[in-house]
């Protein structure tokens, strides 16, 4: 008995659908704005060019959200600009999650002021005084008189807590400080306010309308970050549940490869030593 032509067509369509489903893979990445607003999307596009069947879902809403996504199993990779906290590690362990850390690049937190500000350098103690609210007028640090407007990241940001630890001895931010969702928002606010000051990752330090001040004479650049001369430097991370496998492992390997690190350097990060 001859096989009906329509039946053969149906089998062929089913096979093609199964093949397409098998080759289509999605990597879900959540977390840090510092990594996720620029660097990771560029890495993803380059990776997709070599792996046409792969797609990405990237949500850059702060380091805390990335770590939480690994704990609750809603992401393959959690981006973070800070180390996971002991409480987060405990929460992961309680759920059977093996919170695994991967350093993907280094960053410096650049202190930025309005481009028209006469200020070019700050002492570390001045930075602490400004961001804690102990100093509220620019005249106290040698600039033109005027009330200081402080811009910070919001509390879900790893950069918020890193700057607090690196620059403020973990003291609280000034009550008058204004919390922003991302690096770009801080740069935009400082660019529009002649009395503004904030901090951003290196990838955002060249935003229009702002300038980077030196800290005790040191700029946040690769040489001073690597040497330890720049005081506000930190690693950035991917977190996974255990050792990644498959396409996720390939993307991690691409990120830390010479090609991936070249992209990181072009975006503004300090690359790993390959």
Cite the DSSP H helix spans in the chain: 5-23, 33-36, 39-50, 63-72, 86-94, 124-132, 158-167, 183-191, 222-227, 246-256, 258-267
- Confidence (pTM): 0.87
Question: 182-198: per-residue pLDDT in tens?
Answer: 999 999 999 999 999 99
d(CA 273, CA 80): 20
The β-bridge partners of 54 are 25
d(CA 251, CA 214): 35
d(CA 59, CA 74): 11
Q: DSSP string of 222-257? A: HHHHHHT-SSSEEEEEEEEESS--HHHHHHHHHHHS
List domains and CATH numbers for the chain: 9-106+235-267 (3.40.190.10), 108-233 (3.40.190.10)
Question: 69-120: per-residue pLDDT in tens?
Answer: 999 999 999 999 999 999 999 999 999 999 999 999 999 999 999 999 999 9
């Amino acid at each position: 008995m001859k096989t009906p032509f329509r039946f053969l067509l149906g089998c062929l369509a089913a096979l093609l659908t199964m093949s397409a489903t098998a080759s289509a893979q999605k990597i879900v990445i959540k977390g840090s704005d510092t990594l996720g607003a620029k660097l990771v999307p560029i890495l993803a596009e380059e990776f997709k060019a070599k792996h046409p069947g792969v797609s990405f879902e990237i949500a850059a809403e702060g380091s805390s959200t990335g770590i939480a996504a690994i704990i609750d199993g809603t992401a393959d990779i959690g981006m973070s600009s800070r180390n996971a906290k002991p409480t987060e590690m405990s929460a992961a362990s309680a759920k059977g999650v093996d919170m695994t850390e991967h350093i993907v690049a280094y960053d410096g937190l650049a202190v930025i002021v309005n481009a028209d500000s006469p200020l070019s350098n700050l002492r570390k103690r001045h930075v602490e005084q400004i961001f804690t609210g102990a100093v509220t007028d620019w005249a106290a640090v040698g600039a033109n008189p005027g009330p200081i407007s402080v811009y910070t990241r919001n509390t879900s940001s790893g950069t918020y807590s890193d700057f607090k630890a690196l620059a403020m001895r973990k003291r609280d931010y000034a009550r008058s400080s204004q919390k922003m969702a991302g690096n770009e928002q801080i740069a935009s606010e400082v660019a529009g306010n002649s009395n503004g000051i904030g901090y951003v990752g290196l990838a955002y330090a060249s935003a229009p309308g702002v300038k980077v001040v030196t800290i005790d004479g040191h700029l946040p650049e690769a040489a001073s970050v690597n040497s330890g001369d720049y005081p506000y430097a930190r690693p950035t991370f991917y977190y996974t549940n255990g050792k990644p496998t498959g396409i996720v492992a390939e993307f991690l390997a691409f990120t830390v490869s010479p090609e991936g690190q070249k992209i990181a350097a072009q975006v503004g990060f300090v690359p790993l030593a390959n």
